[in-house]
């Protein structure tokens, strides 16, 4: 089980039979609003309320890597861009959809929908 605490800590519970182990995987020091696994479950996006997106690879047990910081653009949500796991898509409240590289956080493309966007 992987979950996040309000303080921005990503926690892993490994449960086997009646035993469990707790491991702190990452501490990004910002409240995490959502966790999104890639389609093949090898990568995890950590999205904060402030509009920062981090990538974490559970199998590599490394630190979470900051991919993008959209705090100045009314960030709303992010997800993996399918097919594959090399890109993510983000959307702002104003309707701007952006594509980012998960390798290094490079901004690749955007399109403006021309409408205000809401998440339900």
CATH of 2-112, one of 3.40.30.10, 1.10.1530.10, 2.40.10.480, 3.40.50.300: 2.40.10.480
Q: How far is CA 117 from CA 11, 60, 69, 70, 92, in A?
A: 31, 35, 19, 16, 7
Residue 115 is predicted with a pLDDT of 92
If you ran DSSP here, which 8-state letter would residue 82 be given?
S
Interval 66-87: pLDDT, tens: 877 766 567 788 888 877 678 8
Residue 61 is predicted with a pLDDT of 66
Beta bridge partners of 79: 89
Confidence band, pLDDT 50/70/90 cuts, at residue 6 = low
Where are the chain's structural domains? 2-112
The DSSP line for 29-53 is SS-EEEEEE-TTSS-EEEEETTSEE
pLDDT of 112 > 60? The answer is yes
pLDDT of 29 > 70? The answer is yes
Residues 6+ apart with CB under 8 A from 72: 51
- Cβ proximity of 32 and 47 under 8 Å: yes
């Amino acid at each position: 089980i992987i979950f996040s605490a309000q303080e921005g800590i990503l926690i892993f519970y490994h449960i086997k039979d009646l035993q469990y182990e707790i491991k702190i995987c990452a501490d990004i020091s910002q409240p995490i609003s959502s966790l999104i696994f890639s389609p093949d479950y090898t990568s995890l996006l950590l999205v904060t309320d402030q509009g920062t997106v981090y990538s974490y690879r559970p199998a590599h047990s490394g630190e979470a890597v900051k991919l993008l910081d959209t705090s100045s653009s009314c960030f709303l949500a992010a997800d993996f861009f399918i097919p594959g796991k090399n890109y993510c898509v983000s959307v702002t409240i104003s309707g701007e959809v952006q594509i980012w590289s998960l390798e290094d956080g490079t901004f690749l493309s955007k399109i403006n929908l021309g409408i205000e966007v809401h998440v339900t």
